[in-house]
Amino acid sequence: MKNPFEKMPTVLTADELIDKAFRRAEKAASAFTPKGGPKAKARQREELRVRTVSNVLRDNLKKLLDRTPGVSELPEFYRELVDTLVDRDQFHRSLGRVNWAIKTIRTLEQRYAEKIRYSRDPMEISRLRRAYYGRIASVIKDIADDLEYLNQARNVLKNLPVIDLELPTVVIAGHPNVGKSTLLRALTNAKPEIATYPFTTKGINVGQFEEHYLQYQVIDTPGLLDRPLSERNEVERQAVLALKHLGRVIVYIFDPSEYCGYPVSEQTHLFEEIHREFEEFPFIVVLNKVDIADEEKIRGVEEFVRAKGLEPLRISALNGEGLDELRRRVVEIVQPMAEERAKRVMEKELEKYREGLEL
């Protein structure tokens, strides 16, 4: 899975586009060797300028449209994230204006090229080409704000997290320093990939593990599921909602040792908020750092969790205690999804194989 906006090109400003097109036209005209008399040569050279300007502008604008995915066609996870970062209506309007410019440029090219081709006056031929340049420059300047907006949007959207949306995904939640990254590394047996994430100053941590030939994905989202929703800005709140389209189970981590810097009372408050926000999700609650935590505090957290109808699991992500049982619980919940994904992948491979045989 790749960032759907990864191939969206850098968008030139209106002035940059116009300068590029005019320079390319002059270069083409200089290298061109026309045939016939003076009038025929003038017509050919000016028509070449007109068509070159049109081709350069339309190619650049069309590349922008072709490499920009339609927001409505994106998976829900990415659709939610796009809505948090850009004004979807403005985004679509600007793309629509670019499409208008492409069509208008093509129409003007055909009109002025035809006029130049049938003109017999060298002065008129030159005047027509200059008039065309003026009309084209006006068209591009008309979409100058749209080009600027699309480039700003592109600079943000290219930093969307790269996550495999097909894999059953486990989302880790809990206060900072409770051991989320340590648990991620322990579960996935790999150094997590740090995916750029535009909603916070930190990046999403992504790791994968395999069990019985099936793959699973584990992510930690620093800055999102580590403090109360009431403390978030609107963008962060929307980003939290986007996670609902990604995760399949939430592993919530308590640190009863309180070495994380947050008392158990704050940790239970955060749990209640996240549990309420993601109430449709299965939760697995783990108590980390039990090797150094006070037994009384461990039991206190366990009583709180059991009162919520959940059975907590004691672990030490650092030394591996309880991780096999945690992995078993995770797999028990998401294995049906992993099997379904594996089935789809196999069916696609078989389809490709059959198509290859037919060829």
- pLDDT band of 35, cuts 50, 70, 90: confident
Other C-beta atoms lying within 10 Å of the C-beta of residue 206: 23
Question: Which amino acid is residue 164, in one-letter code?
Answer: D
d(CA 71, CA 95): 11
Contacts 24+ apart (CB under 8 A), 228-231: 228/269, 228/270, 228/273, 229/273, 229/277, 230/273
Question: Same structural domain for residues 69 and 44?
Answer: yes
- Cα–Cα distances (Å) from 165 to 86, 180, 297, in that order, read 21, 21, 38
Name beta bridge partners: 252: 173, 285
Domain CATH number, residue 92: 1.20.120.1190
Domain assignment of residue 136, yes or no: yes
Domain co-membership, 307 together with 331: yes
195/284 same-domain check: yes
Same domain, yes or no: 119 and 264: no
Share of the chain above pLDDT 70, in %: 89
Residues 118 and 262 in one domain: no
Out of 157, 184, 204, a domain closes at 157
Encode pLDDT of 75-130 as tens digits. Answer: 888 888 788 788 888 999 999 999 999 999 999 999 999 999 988 888 999 999 99
At 239, is the secondary structure helix, strand, or coil? helix
- CA–chain centroid gap for 36, Å, is 55
Q: Which of 317, 201, 184 is nearest to 193 (CA)?
A: 184
Total domains in the chain come to 2
The 10s digit of each residue's pLDDT in 173-191 is 888 889 888 888 888 865 6
pLDDT at position 196 is: 47
Residues 336 and 215 reside in one and the same domain: yes
- H helices present in the chain, as ranges: 14-31, 38-66, 76-85, 88-118, 122-142, 144-157, 180-188, 234-242, 264-277, 295-307, 323-358
Q: Are residues 324 and 248 in the same domain?
A: yes
The type of residue at 54 is S
Residue 312: which CATH number?
3.40.50.300
Residues 42 and 91 in one domain: yes
**Which among 157, 183, 213 is the end of a domain?**
157
Judgement on whether residues 195 and 336 belong to the same structural domain of the protein: yes
Check whether residue 200 and residue 309 sit in a common domain: yes
Q: Is 106 helix (H, G, I), strand (E, B) or coil?
A: helix
Q: What is the DSSP string of 130-189?
A: HHHHHHHHHHHHHTHHHHHHHHHHHHHHTTS----TTS-EEEEE-STTSSHHHHHHHHHT
Q: Which token pair is 309?
A: 């109808």
pLDDT band, residue 1 (cuts 50/70/90): low
pLDDT digits (tens, 9 = 90+) for 299-327: 999 999 999 999 999 999 888 899 999 98
Instruction: Tell whether 4 is covered by a domain.
Output: no
Choose one of 112, 134, 157: the last residue of a domain: 157
On the question of pLDDT at 142 being above 90, the answer is yes
Averaged pLDDT score across all residues of the chain = 86
> What is the rounded distance in angstroms from the CA atom of residue 252 to the CA atom of residue 291?
18
Average pLDDT over residues 243-258: 87
For residue 200, what are the domain limits?
A: 169-351
- Inter-residue contact 109 to 46 (CB < 8 Å): no
The reply to whether 309 falls in a domain is yes
Strand pairing category for 313-314 and 169-173: unpaired
Shared domain for 141 and 41, answered yes or no, is yes
**Structural domain contains residue 22:** yes
pLDDT at residue 21, rounded to an integer: 97
Query: Do 112 and 200 fall into the same domain?
Result: no
